[in-house]
Structure 1
Amino acid sequence: MNEMYLLAAEEGSSDHNPLLPEPYDIFWSAVCIIVIGFVFFKYVIPRLTKVLDERSEKIEGGIAKAEAAQAQAQETLELYKQQLAEARLEAARIREDARTQGQQILAQMKADAQAEADRIVAAGHSQLEAQRQQIVTELRGELGRTAVDLAEKIIGQSVSDAAKQAASIDRFLAELDEQAGIGVGR
């Protein structure tokens, strides 16, 4: 075993470091790295860049579309809110018009009802006045006949002259009217 140590010591005396590779290994490793780098930069990176650019465009396009859709949705919402506000104003105006028309119709109906009531009352008064006049005329005639009959019974003779009879009745009724007017005035 001592011999091995000696042999190893003799070989170790040369300037060779075991951690460093041989120069031909370094050369061929560099050539491989350069070839792989060339292929990588020539073919892989452009395709990767192209794919990343396409994805970026799609994402940006999607974002732009989303922003456009959001802007359109916002415009639609504003338009809806405006139409809703206009509809509310229109509904309020219609309600106010209906209320005003209702009040006008009610006032017109009240006025028509009052006019009809006044007409009915006036017709009733005129009818009562006509009936009163008719009754007064009938009563005067009846009272006159009764007075003539009583006068004939009292006098014992017939009072047949129509002119005298009418004058007597009118005078008698006038006296009754005067007494009635005096009695009412008290």
Structure 2
Amino acid sequence: MDLSNQALNGFSAHLAVSFNPDIFESNIINISLLLGGILYLGSSALSESLSERQEKIIGAIQEAEERLQQADTRLAEGEKQLEQAQLVIESIKTDAETTARKVKSEILTDGKAEIERLTSSAKAQIGTIEARVRKQISEYVVTLALKRVTLQLEGKLDSNLQQQILDRNISNLGE
């Protein structure tokens, strides 16, 4: 043992820590008892601390999972509401387009009817005015013709010619 002690001491001298193989002198028993007591007493406190820490971690994980489930539920509800809102928007768009087409069609139909009514009214007024103008022209022509004939006949008309004109007009009336 001498040789091993010297080798260890020589090696330890360089390290500044030496190994003393004498159990009583190095207090290995006392240190082992002290270390065993610390481990025995400290292990329960350490295990309690670790258990508490584990419970806290498990609780935090469960809480996080619950929040995740709630978030997933809210997300699903939000997506469902979004889909419903999009359906409502599409329905409103479709209704608006249909209503716009109907209104446009009604306006065009009403406009056409109004144009036709105004056109027929204008044609009727034009026809009335034309008839009145023709009548006035006809009356004017007849009046002029009568004046002319009267002027011509005043100088040439005798009783025999008057009788012939009357007979011819009476025979024309009978036909």
The TM-score with structure 1 as length reference comes to: 0.66
Q: What are structure 1's unaligned runs of at least 5 residues? A: 5-20, 158-163, 179-186
Distance 1:40 1:63 in 2: 34
Q: Does residue 132 of the first structure (1) align with residue 139 of the second (2)?
A: no
Could you say which residue in structure 2 is the equivalent of 1:114?
Answer: 116
Q: Does residue 64 of the first structure (1) align with residue 81 of the second (2)?
A: no
Q: Does residue 40 of the first structure (1) align with residue 42 of the second (2)?
A: yes
Residue 118 of structure 1: CA displacement? 0.2
SS in 2 for 1:84: helix
Counterpart AA for 2:97: R
Q: What are structure 2's unaligned runs of at least 5 residues? A: 3-21
Distance 1:40 1:150 in 2: 159
SS in 2 for 1:79: helix
Q: How does 1:26-175 map to 2 (within 5 A)?
A: 31-32=33-34, 34-155=36-157, 171=169
Percentage of identical aligned residues: 13
Shift >6 Å, 4+ stretches: none
Distance 1:33 1:135 in 2: 145
Residue 68 of structure 1: CA displacement? 0.7
